[in-house]
Amino acid sequence: MNHVAKAAAAAAALLIVGLPPVLGLITEAQVRARVAELSESGVFLAEVRAFERGWLGGRAKIDIGLAPAYLQRSSAAAPALEALIGQTAPLDVVFAYGPVPLLDGIHFGLSRMVARLDSESAAVANLEQGLGIPYVFEFRGRTSFLGKLTFDADMPPVDLPMGRTRIEFSGAVLAGTFAGNRLAAHGGVDRFRFSSPTGVFSVERVGATIDNEIRSRYLLPGSAAFSVGSVTVVDAASGPTPKLEASGVRVDSLVQLDETRNLLDVRATVALDSAFVDGMRIADASLGIAVRNLDAAALEIYATTLRGVAASADRGAALRPALERVLAGAPSVALDPVAFSFDGEPFTGRLEIVTNAGALPANGTVDFEDPQTLLTLFDSSADIELSKKLAQSLAALALQIQLADDPTLPNEDRQRIAEAQSGLILVALLGQGLLTDKGDRYRAELRVADGAVTVNGAPLPLNVP
């Protein structure tokens, strides 16, 4: 037995001593491969500047930023992004190799890593010193022998007075796993507050979770959720009462593939407990979104084409085949419910649009600029119901917006005229059959089927523009 025990101990020692260099080679290869994938994505610009591989550990210097082509496309919507063209952030990544890597604790597996912004960079060092923090962020990962990555990360708290301005940040946390092509993670921020003589902006209890299968850059079936406990904006010039105060913001989504793995169903809900904006309060708001029968392959073709075609004049022709393939799958979209209360007055509604795939032209070419073609191609239904008081308030608000084009009209007169004429508008809508009287409420039902349009069961009045 002693000989067997000695042989086992020698084999274990050889494994512990000899395996780390092999795992080091594997780790470096994986790092370089992942960085190359990022660069090939078209979104990121990434490069391994250096990789020092030792016996039990290693260190990588990686530069990462957004790809110039991606920034140039995005800067049309956000011109400030142009300043990031050519800019990269330096990362310092420290590795320890298995089978028992010793880095920030003991771990049994392929490797362990800790990544931070590189403090050897003067810009990063100055930022850390200015914020009074040990690092801007730290990402810690542990890779098992089966390739599963377990990770957690954090950004430290910041309390930064700058004269009469102050930034308070509770810090942020993130944790999750990445195994195969499945990513599951959750993170959050307790509080962020910016205050100055001009006002205060604060956000509290921000959280997010994801659990997705990464099938491609554009196809990520799974679930996601995002929530914000409260948002407050105070304009000092208007007094201590918040200009904006919102609470209980929640967004949940679920993307599923059917049994054939070809069609997507997407469901999402957006909810808001309460919001106070410029003296008006919205409460109990909810919006449900359901999209069914989306051709997954066509969506990927559509997204790839949209990203690759720069000239807007060429996009219509390039995107048409993918769009027509999507329509052939008879997709539908529904907004149900659409509900809220405005200053205590309720509104509810729903909208559904269903593709009539049987109405697609035999040659597969759809004239998207022909209204009659679109009426035939899509069957729709919409219902709204709201209190009479809310209907009058919305009519008055619409009139005020129209009257705002007249600079000679004082604001008080604009409001008075809008309130006086709002009742006439509602009477006209009732007379045309566009609204029906339900006691203390108004209701409207719109249907589009087989190219015919009806409102409240009657053909759409011809005198309605």
Per-residue pLDDT of the chain (465 residues; tens, 9 = 90+): 454 444 444 434 434 444 556 666 777 787 888 888 777 767 788 899 998 887 777 899 999 888 887 777 666 656 666 777 778 889 999 888 765 555 565 566 667 889 999 999 999 999 999 999 999 999 998 887 777 888 999 999 999 998 899 999 999 999 999 988 899 999 999 999 999 999 999 999 999 999 999 887 778 899 999 999 999 999 988 888 888 999 999 999 999 988 777 889 999 999 999 999 877 899 999 999 999 999 888 888 877 777 666 545 566 677 778 888 888 889 999 999 999 999 899 999 999 999 988 888 776 677 777 778 888 889 999 999 999 999 998 888 888 888 877 777 787 878 888 888 888 889 998 998 999 999 999 999 999 988 888 999 988 765 444
Q: Convert the pLDDT of each residue in 130-187 to its tens digit.
A: 999 999 999 998 887 777 888 999 999 999 998 899 999 999 999 999 988 899 999 9
Within a 10 A sphere around the Cβ of 201, how many other Cβ atoms? 14
Percent of the chain's residues with pLDDT above 90: 42
Quickly list H helices, 309-437.
Answer: 312-328, 371-377, 388-403, 411-431
Nearest by Cα to 25 from 95, 82, 130, 129: 95
CA distance 50 to 378: 57
Q: Helix 296-308 crosses helix 312-328 at what angle (to 10 degrees)?
A: 180
Q: Where are the domains of the chain?
A: 380-465
Tell me if 94 sits within 8 A of 57, measured CB to CB.
Answer: yes
Distances in whole angstroms, Cα of residue 119 to Cα of each of 126, 220, 320: 9, 35, 49
Distances in whole angstroms, Cα of residue 354 to Cα of each of 105, 324, 339: 56, 15, 21
> Exposed, middle or buried, 26 (CB in 10 Å: 0-12/13-18/19+)?
middle
Q: Convert the pLDDT of each residue in 28-51 to its tens digit.
A: 787 888 888 777 767 788 899 998
Tell me if 157 sits within 8 A of 170, measured CB to CB.
Answer: yes
What is the predicted pLDDT for the residue at 465? 43
Within a 10 A sphere around the Cβ of 75, how many other Cβ atoms? 15
Tell me if 283 sits within 8 A of 340, measured CB to CB.
Answer: yes
Amino acid identity for residue 448 in this structure: V
Q: What six digits make up the tokens of 27?
A: 């780790």
